[in-house]
Amino acid sequence: MNRSRGWIVTGVALLATVAVAAGSLALGGFDPWEAMRALVSGSLGSPTAIFSITLVRAVPLILTGLAVALAFRAGIWNIGAEGQLYAGAVAGVWVALAAPSSVPAWLLLPGILTVGGVAGAAWAVVPAALRLRAGVGEVITTILMNFVAIHLAAWMVHGPLQEARGVFPQTDRISETARLPVLIPGTRLHLGFAIAVILAVFLWAWLRYTASGFGIRAVGASPDAARVAGRIEDGPTLFRIFLASGAIAGLAGVVQVSGVTFALYEDFSPGYGYTAIAVALLAGLKPLGVVLTGVLFGALEGGAGAMQREAGVPAGWVDAVEALVILSILAADRLIRRGEA
């Protein structure tokens, strides 16, 4: 892709989004400046805001964003990151609660992270198999799996995994040994952030420098040429990528449990898996870019709470803005290409 065009598209898209967002606030009777001010101060206005709100919020967004970017890059429409995240969270919390207290942290933590990743991958198996064996479009199947996961998690916290005293639909809190250590003392920023950044760098290097990464890029760019000219069998490659994408989303879920919530409850995710689509697209599906856009959306969502409290803007508005980002990127890209032609 034309390098400078990528930046122009992003820039135009963001400008358009800000304009429409501000406009919609005004139409709704809210004061755009007040709302924006609350948004910015709530997300970036203080060290607490930056480290304990924005960056913490960015972790699941970066991870799911990487999962989505990887899949989309290979031509797989994985809209199921949300369900895969839940699967990872459920599996992770289950193992964390079931593990005997004698297990040390250095063993337990990698253990539950792995379990979460495997669960996320497992959650992608059904849509992947349906696509590869029966040619069923994965958009619908992954979305359906999301609903199944959400209900499954709800059932778990009402039933088998419910807290010991049985009052609220949530699990008990996991033990200290199962919690991700904090990176900066005094904040809530946990090791998950480092994991996310390292994973992004790893994916970037892998796609760019390895033979298998090249194969994925080829299959995503042109499955026909990859198959005929490159003799790369798209079937097995796509299956593996689909599962890898699910695994990363599953990792996002267990990291969220282990680093932030320390328990599982209903409506555990405010839609990270869907926001991830905006995160990935805005980053041009590039892993390193996802870190930046993940932080951007972390700020957006993190500041939304302040916006609601101080300016009275309903939380749902942020989702609408995120959708707007996606649409503006798409539109800007088409319009700019037309201008070039």
Partner 1 sequence: MTARPPAVEARGLVRRFGSVVALDAARLVALPGEVHGVLGENGAGKTTLLSVLAGLLPPDEGEILRDGRSVEIDSPRTARRLGIGMVHQHFALVPRLSVLENLMLGWPGSPLQLPVDQVSELARNLADTTGLAVPLDAIVESLGVGERQRVEIAKVLLQEPRVLILDEPTAVLSPPEVEGLLSLVRRLARDGAAVLFVAHKLDEVLSVADRVTVLRRGRTVLEAARQEVDEGVLAAAMVGPEAARTLVDRDTPEGGDSAGISGREGGLRARDRPGGSHAPGADSLAAEPVARLQEVWLGSDKGGWRLQDVSLAVRPGEVVGVAGVEGNGQRQLALVLAGEADPTRGRAELPPEPSFIPQDRRREGLVQEFDLTENMALRLHHRPEFRKGLFLRWDALEAWTRGRIQEFSVRAQGPEVLASTLSGGNQQRVVLARELAEEPEFVVAENPTRGLDVAGEAFVHDTLLSLRDRPEGPAGIVLISTDLDEILALSDRVFVMVRGRLEPVEAGPDLRRRVGERMLGAS
Partner 2 sequence: MSGLLDAAIVIAFLEAGVRLGIPLALAALGETISERAGVLNIGLEGAIIAGALGAALGALDTGSPILGVLVGGLAGAAVALVFAVFVVGLNVDQIIAGTAITLGGLGFTAAVYEARFGTTGTALTLPTLDPVSLPLLSAVPVLGPVFFSQAPTAYLTYLLAPALAWFFYRTSAGLQLRAVGEAPDAAAAAGVRVRRIRFVATVAGGFLAGLAGAHLSLAYAGTFAEGMSAGRGFIAIAVVVLGRWNPILVLLAGLFFGAASALQFFLQNLGFDIGYQIFLAVPYILTLAALGGWVGRARAPAALALPWPTRRRGA
Q: Which residues of this protein are in contact with partner 1, per CB under 8 A?
A: 1, 209-212, 214-215, 217-218, 221-222, 224-232, 341
Q: Which does 215 bind (CB under 5 to 8 A by kind): partner 2, partner 1, none?
A: partner 1
DSSP letter for each residue of 313-333: --THHHHHHHHHHHHHHHHHH
Please count the other Cβ atoms lying within 10 Å of the Cβ belonging to residue 248.
29
Smallest separation, CB 326 to partner 2 (Å)? 4
Rounded distance between C-alpha atoms, residue 323 and residue 317, angstroms: 10
The footprint of partner 2 on this chain (CB under 8 A) covers a number of residues equal to: 51
Rounded distance between C-alpha atoms, residue 291 and residue 217, angstroms: 20
- Identify residues 26-55 at the interface with partner 2 (CB under 8 A): 28-29
Rounded distance between C-alpha atoms, residue 211 and residue 79, angstroms: 27
**Does 170 engage in binding with partner 2 (CB under 8 A)?**
no
Tell me the one-letter amino acid at 294: G
Residues in the chain: 341
The nearer residue to partner 1, 180 or 285, going by C-beta atoms, is 285
- Identify residues 240-299 at the interface with partner 2 (CB under 8 A): 271, 274, 277-278, 281
Rounded distance between C-alpha atoms, residue 125 and residue 91, angstroms: 16
Q: Which span sits near partner 2 by CB under 8 A: 3-11, 142-150, 182-190, 200-208? A: 142-150
Rounded distance between C-alpha atoms, residue 29 and residue 24, angstroms: 9
- Please report how the helices 138-158 and 105-134 are oriented relative to each other, as an axis angle in degrees rounded to 10: 140
The nearer residue to partner 2, 189 or 332, going by C-beta atoms, is 332
* One of 15, 19, 26, 136 touching partner 2 (CB under 8 A): 136
**Does 211 engage in binding with partner 2 (CB under 8 A)?**
no
User: And the tokens for 256?
Assistant: 């969220």
Rounded distance between C-alpha atoms, residue 265 and residue 272, angstroms: 15
Smallest separation, CB 102 to partner 1 (Å)? 39
**Does 214 engage in binding with partner 2 (CB under 8 A)?**
no
Question: Do 258 and 114 form a contact (C-beta atoms < 8 A)?
Answer: no
Smallest separation, CB 141 to partner 2 (Å)? 6
Residues in contact with partner 2 by CB under 8 A are 28-29, 77, 79, 126, 130, 134-136, 139-141, 143-145, 147-148, 151-152, 154-155, 158-159, 221-222, 271, 274, 277-278, 281, 313-324, 326-327, 330-331, 333-335, 337, 341
